């Protein structure tokens, strides 16, 4: 009985989160992997007079000890093959598990990661409603853009799609916490990508198959439309992975420039993807694409560094002592960062960071600096209401060598 009573049920919640995240990442790997593969396959196809009618090109590949001859029917073969593999569950399951994760981490308790009252004093329900509603609206805006006359020209569509995404990022950055804003942009991009599969690509493929079964010729426009959306998805893969990883790097989003940083990363991601897509055609891509992608990444890095310098410590001022620092850590951090956290919902110290002993505090001083002084990531959403003077004290103690005596 004692064993039962000592069961910690919050760990079960953490396990569910872990399993959902695991599945989400695996599905995402399969999806992005097939996106890379098919875009590269398409690019490597070569016309060949000996190919059957309706085949626009073929290519040879070697993998795992065997040779493959791939052929592409531009519209469709004349018959429906008995064994036909569809690619859709990679996309659907990535989105489904991603959405569950979004709910588990952000929407169940929005005050923790989604809302930052120093940015916008938005209610919990409002935050979740805006979060979900904007995913739906964002899809419709993008889809409309693709279908409109304006989107008929690729360059125009690319630029206006980019402006749409960055506009949304700007909006999110002024409504949610930095971290919340980044995950919302990630969720929006992911939703647009899966929308392309579920609402455009798959229905068009089904229409094609129905025509084939009826013994009629499918319309080429269905394939073209599907191809366009599939290319969009391909160019979005690198930025969306950045967005998912950025949540573990507070310096990317804990700055008023976070939306601009995203814009720069999107540009870099598009350019790098473009380099690979050209390379897969067999042509030599322009080497200048690399520096062109490097410059926005560098600019993003600089944006995360400015405005975060250590607060100046007055010359001659005596540094804060550990006796002054200890109560600050105890009062502002220890509820969460302890072997047994008191903060509701935490079964263990987040990221294993514990401030139980003076030694632990000293060892972690540079991380304390990074999270609570340089950026204001900690205390999380400032739930424990640390003051600026207290941050200053932490800074001065750390700058003087984080001594315990």
Shortest separation between residue 186's beta carbon and ligand HEC, angstroms: 15
Binding residue (CB under 6 A) for ligand HEC from 10, 48, 117, 367: 367
Segment lying near ligand HEC (by CB under 6 A), choices 162-170, 226-234, 310-318, 374-382: 374-382
Q: Is 353 in the site for ligand HEC (CB under 6 A)?
A: yes
For residue 99, give the nearest of 35, 29, 20 by alpha carbon: 20
Rule CB under 6 A: choose which of 327, 350, 387, 403 binds ligand HEC.
Answer: 350
277 contact partners, CB below 8 Å, separation of at least 6: 39, 40, 43, 234
Among 114, 236, 368, 395, binds ligand HEC (CB under 6 A): 368
Instruction: Identify which of residues 292 and 383 has a Cβ nearer to ligand HEC in the complex.
Output: 383
- The encoded tokens of residue 188 equal 């929006």
Cα–Cα nearest to 192, from 247, 230, 151: 230
Residue among 386, 395, 398, 402 that touches ligand HEC (CB under 6 A): 386
Per-residue tokens: 23: 């599945």
Cβ contact 272:293 at 8 Å: yes
343 binds ligand HEC (CB under 6 A): yes
Contacting ligand HEC within 248-287 (CB under 6 A): 248
- Which listed range, 35-43, 131-139, 274-282, 350-358, lies at the site for ligand HEC (CB under 6 A)? 350-358
Those residues with Cβ within 8 angstroms of residue 14's Cβ, 6 or more apart along the chain or in another chain: 347, 348
Q: Which stretch binds ligand HEC (CB under 6 A): 117-125, 201-209, 259-267, 346-354?
A: 346-354
Task: Tell which positions 319-338 bind ligand HEC, by CB under 6 A.
Answer: 332-333, 335-337
- Least distance in Å: CB of 180 to ligand HEC? 12
Tell me if 296 contacts ligand HEC by CB under 6 A.
no
Q: Which is nearer to ligand HEC, 197 or 380 (CB)?
A: 380
Residue with tokens 């490597």, as numbered in its chain: 44
- Provide, rounded to whole angstroms, the least separation between the CB of residue 395 and ligand HEC: 12
Contacts within 8 Å (CB) and 24+ apart, 296-300: 296/264, 296/265, 296/267, 296/268, 297/264, 297/265, 297/268, 299/264, 300/252, 300/261, 300/264, 300/265, 300/268
Q: Would you tell me how many other CB atoms lie within 10 Å of the CB of residue 261?
A: 27
Q: Which is nearer to ligand HEC, 11 or 367 (CB)?
A: 367
Q: How far apart are CA 219 and CA 204, in angstroms?
A: 10
- Please name the residue that has the structure tokens 């097939």: 34
As a whole number of Å, the CA-based R_g of the chain is 26
For residue 365, give both structure tokens.
Answer: 């001083």
| Cβ proximity to ligand HEC, 217 vs 367, nearer residue | 367
Cβ distance 307 to 255 under 8 Å? yes
Does residue 374 interact with ligand HEC by CB under 6 A?
no
Q: Give me the residues that bind ligand HEC (CB under 6 A), please.
A: 248, 332-333, 335-337, 343, 350-351, 353, 364, 367-368, 371-372, 378-380, 383-384, 386
């Amino acid at each position: 009985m004692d064993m039962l009573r000592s069961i910690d049920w919050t760990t079960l919640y953490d396990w569910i989160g872990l399993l959902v995240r695991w599945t989400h990442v695996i599905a995402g790997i399969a999806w992005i992997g097939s996106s890379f593969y098919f875009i590269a396959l398409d690019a490597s196809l070569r016309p060949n007079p000996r190919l059957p009618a309706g085949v626009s090109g073929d290519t040879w590949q070697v993998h795992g000890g065997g040779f493959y001859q791939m052929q592409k029917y531009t519209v469709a073969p004349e018959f429906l093959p008995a064994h036909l593999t569809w690619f859709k569950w990679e996309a659907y399951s990535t989105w489904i598990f991603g959405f569950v994760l979004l709910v588990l981490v952000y929407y169940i308790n929005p005050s923790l990661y989604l809302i930052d009252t120093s940015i916008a004093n938005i209610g919990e329900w409002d935050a979740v409603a805006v979060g979900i509603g904007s995913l739906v609206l964002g899809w419709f805006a993008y889809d409309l853009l693709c279908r409109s006359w304006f989107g008929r020209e690729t360059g125009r569509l690319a630029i206006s799609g980019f402006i749409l995404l960055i506009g949304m990022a700007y909006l999110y950055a002024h409504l949610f916490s930095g971290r919340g804003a980044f995950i919302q942009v990630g969720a929006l991009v992911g939703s647009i990508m899966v929308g392309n599969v579920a609402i455009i690509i798959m229905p068009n493929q089904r229409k094609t198959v129905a025509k084939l079964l009826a013994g009629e010729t499918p319309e080429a426009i269905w394939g073209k439309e599907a191809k366009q959306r599939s290319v969009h998805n391909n160019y979005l893969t690198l930025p969306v992975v950045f967005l998912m990883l950025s949540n573990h790097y507070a310096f990317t989003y804990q700055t008023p420039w976070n939306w601009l940083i995203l814009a720069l990363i999107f540009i870099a991601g598009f350019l790098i993807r473009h380099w690979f897509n050209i390379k897969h055609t067999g042509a030599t891509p322009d080497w200048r694409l690399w520096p062109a992608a490097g410059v926005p990444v560098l600019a993003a890095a600089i944006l995360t560094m400015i405005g975060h310098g250590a607060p100046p410590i007055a010359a001659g001022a005596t540094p804060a002592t550990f006796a002054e620092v200890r109560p600050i850590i105890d009062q502002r951090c220890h509820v969460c960062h302890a072997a047994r956290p008191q903060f509701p919902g935490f079964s263990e110290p987040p990221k294993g960071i514990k401030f139980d002993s003076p030694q632990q505090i000293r060892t972690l001083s540079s991380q304390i600096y990074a999270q609570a002084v340089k950026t204001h990531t900690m205390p999380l959403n400032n739930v424990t209401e640390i003051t600026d003077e207290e941050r200053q004290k932490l800074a001065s103690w750390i700058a003087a060598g984080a001594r315990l005596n």
